[in-house]
Structure 1
Amino acid sequence: MSKNVDVKRAKILDVAKRRFAHFGMTKTTMAEIAKDLSFSKALLYYYFPDKHSLYTAVLEHVVNEMINKVEAYIPSASGVEEILLYAVESRMSIMRDNYNLFEYSSSQFIQNPGEMGKNIGPYFERIRDQYSRILKKGVDNKEIKVDDFNETAELLLFSLMGMRVGILSKDLNDCLFPTPDEFDLILTKQQKMVKIFLRGLRHS
């Protein structure tokens, strides 16, 4: 892929992300995105054959933003707890800023878990791998003791996800994504969960 193509693709993802985040997936059309870009619809379809493929690419783009933001923070952090608390806070902030984007993915997961699982699964694995590396840093610094990095990272992520589902006040058949008013409460509880989780990994 040429540098020019990379630049155009990045521009499309950035513009589409803003529109999806503001208006949502169902209320956004490819024609509107092309107009925002000052592109022809034909050029937009050259890069992305349909709105679903563009949405999936935007979701991946935002997950990359989450991961890269934490990676950039790691070298300056004082310890594993600070890194994990930042990871939880920055992830929640990005989800809040892109509310309609993530809310749609959650609703689609409820309607078609198999298909959405194919898209969401690799993102979970990448975040798990990042958490695993963060835990290893904590072990290298002799802050914590971990026997299996990937398994422990998964347990932490599942704990955080379970905390979110447990707090949500909506019907349990539609509880994968919080309302805007629930973000602060969920973040506070997840931060406490990180501290409790790490306490169990501390050297005795």
Structure 2
Amino acid sequence: MEQTEKTEHIIEAAIKRFAHFGVHKTTLTEIADDLGITKQALAYYFPDKQALLEAVEQKIITEFFQLVNEHATAAPNAELSLLSLLEVKKSFFDKYAMLMQQVGPEMLANFSRVAESRKKVQAAVAVHIAQVLEQGIAKGELKPMDTTEVSMVLYETMSAYEHCFVGRQAVPDPHTFSEMCIRQKAVMQLIINGLKAN
């Protein structure tokens, strides 16, 4: 338990440092100094910066899906459950925007593990959407459909819209992202309306 708490403190300190100074300019010594421990003590938990980066990434992914599941469980129907996915996405952008801007597109492109994680997240989101659709069908809210196929169409539509709206920006500014989320929500609502049972 104590080791888990220490690991969490280190990850939180790393997120703050990475967000304010960037990954390349941050050293493990600086993170250790922020925590009031030695670099050797830090190395016991994370032997190098790459290991710490992977832990940061895993924390964010885990946190994202916990929140997605909480929203889905609290939503009274499939429609609000699907729309809440966009709300969670927006809240995560607001929380981690500075970190994403500091990480930068060149770093994301250079880490094959990040690309691999993105694919896993995309697949997990598509599975989540399919489960929400299945629950909506079972409750009579939505008409029968191939939930796997429709979930991929929904996910790909949101992704394509995001790509077109954001353009060449690797990380959009908060205003652009907010506008994009409003538009995505409108598109998602149109699609959901077409899926509703008569």
Query: Which runs of no fewer than 5 residues in structure 2 stay unpaired?
Result: none
Query: What is the CA–CA distance in structure 1 between the aligned matches of 2:53 and 2:128, rounded to whole Å?
Result: 24
Deviation at 1:188, TM superposition (A): 0.6
1:14 to 12, 15, 25: 12
Closer/same/farther in 2, CA of residues 43 and 145 from structure 1, 3 Å limit: farther
Residue 191 in 1 paired to residue 185 in 2? Answer: yes
Query: What is the CA–CA distance in structure 2 between the aligned matches of 1:23 and 1:10, rounded to whole Å?
Result: 20
The alignment partner of 2:197 has SS state of coil
Deviation at 1:192, TM superposition (A): 0.9
Deviation at 1:18, TM superposition (A): 2.6
TM-score when scaled to structure 1? Answer: 0.84
Query: What is the CA–CA distance in structure 2 between the aligned matches of 1:189 and 1:151, rounded to whole Å?
Result: 23
Residue 168 in 1 paired to residue 166 in 2? Answer: yes
Deviation at 1:180, TM superposition (A): 2.5
In the other structure, the counterpart of 1:38 is: 36
1:127-153: CA deviation from partner (whole Å, max 9, x where unpaired): 222222222222222111353333322
- Identity between Structure 1 and Structure 2 (%): 26
1:200 to 191, 194, 198: 194
TM alignment of 1:67-106, pairs within 5 A: 67-103=65-101, 104=103, 106=105
| Conserved 8 A contact 2:104-2:170 | no
2:157 to 155, 159, 167: 159
TM alignment of 1:120-139, pairs within 5 A: 120-139=118-137
2:41 partner amino acid: L
| Conserved 8 A contact 1:108-1:116 | no
Query: What is the CA–CA distance in structure 1 between the aligned matches of 2:46 and 2:152, rounded to whole Å?
Result: 33
TM-score when scaled to structure 2? Answer: 0.86
Query: Which runs of no fewer than 5 residues in structure 1 stay unpaired?
Result: none
Runs of 4+ off more than 6 Å? none
Closer/same/farther in 2, CA of residues 96 and 70 from structure 1, 3 Å limit: same
Query: What is the CA–CA distance in structure 2 between the aligned matches of 1:60 and 1:201, rounded to whole Å?
Result: 34
Query: What is the CA–CA distance in structure 1 between the aligned matches of 2:19 and 2:127, rounded to whole Å?
Result: 26
The alignment partner of 2:195 has SS state of coil
1:21-52: CA deviation from partner (whole Å, max 9, x where unpaired): 33332232212211222222112222222212
